[in-house]
Structure 1
Amino acid sequence: MFDFMMATTPEICGELGLRLRARRLMQGWTQVELAERAGLSSGTVKNLEKRGQASLESFVQIVAALGLADDLGELFRLKVASIAAMEKAEQAKRQRAPRRTSR
């Protein structure tokens, strides 16, 4: 099993590309078909699957074309373990990051 916590950024990108490729193949689509459905070039699909390289927007378009957009809903969702953590998370939604002081 792939360990996202121990992986480097290029390794994570590569793994995501491989997973999207597996989903595409499961649906019986070629890279060209997926590219057409996503409104992208086949080179973009090829780069994502082979090297894990694509813009965030292209990545989302491919995910949506594969019918996986719902899976993005849980990405980065705050996980709350206690009432105190829940209150802190709620405050974080309403606060801005502290201003940086110029040096």
Structure 2
Amino acid sequence: MFDFTLATTPEICVELGRRLRARRLVQGWSQIELAQRAGISAGTIKNLEKHGRATLESFIHVVAALGLSDELSDIFLIRMVSIAAMEKAERANRQRAPRKASR
């Protein structure tokens, strides 16, 4: 099992590319077919699968084409574990970051 907490950024990128490749193969699609369905180039698919490199937009196009959009719904959600965490999460719902103190 891949441990994201111990992995470097390049390792995580490669792992995500590997997982998308596996899902493509389960669908029985070639890289060209996935590229057409995602509306991006086959080179982008190759780069994503081999090196884990793509723009966020291209990554999302691939995820959507593979029918995995629902997998993104829980990403980066703030998990409520205590009343203090709930209060902190409520404060985080602000639209702007707190201002730095002026000197």
Question: Which interval holds the TM-score relative to the shorter structure?
Answer: over 0.9
Question: 1:63-90: CA deviations, max 9, x gaps?
Answer: 0000000000010011110122112101
Distance 2:7 2:52 in 1: 14
Name 1:24's counterpart in structure 2: 24
Name 1:56's counterpart in structure 2: 56
Distance 2:69 2:75 in 1: 11
Distance 2:31 2:72 in 1: 22
Distance 1:94 1:102 in 2: 20
Percent identical: 70
Alignment of 1:23-42 (within 5 A): 23-42=23-42
Distance 2:65 2:82 in 1: 37
Name 1:79's counterpart in structure 2: 79
Which letter maps to 1:38?
A: A
The TM-score normalised by the length of structure 1 is 0.93
Structure 2 gaps of 5+ residues are none
Secondary structure of the corresponding residue to residue 74 of structure 1: coil
The CA deviation at 1:94 is: 1.8
Name 1:6's counterpart in structure 2: 6
The TM-score normalised by the length of structure 2 is 0.93
Structure 1 gaps of 5+ residues are none
Q: Which moved more, 1:88-97 or 1:25-34?
A: 88-97
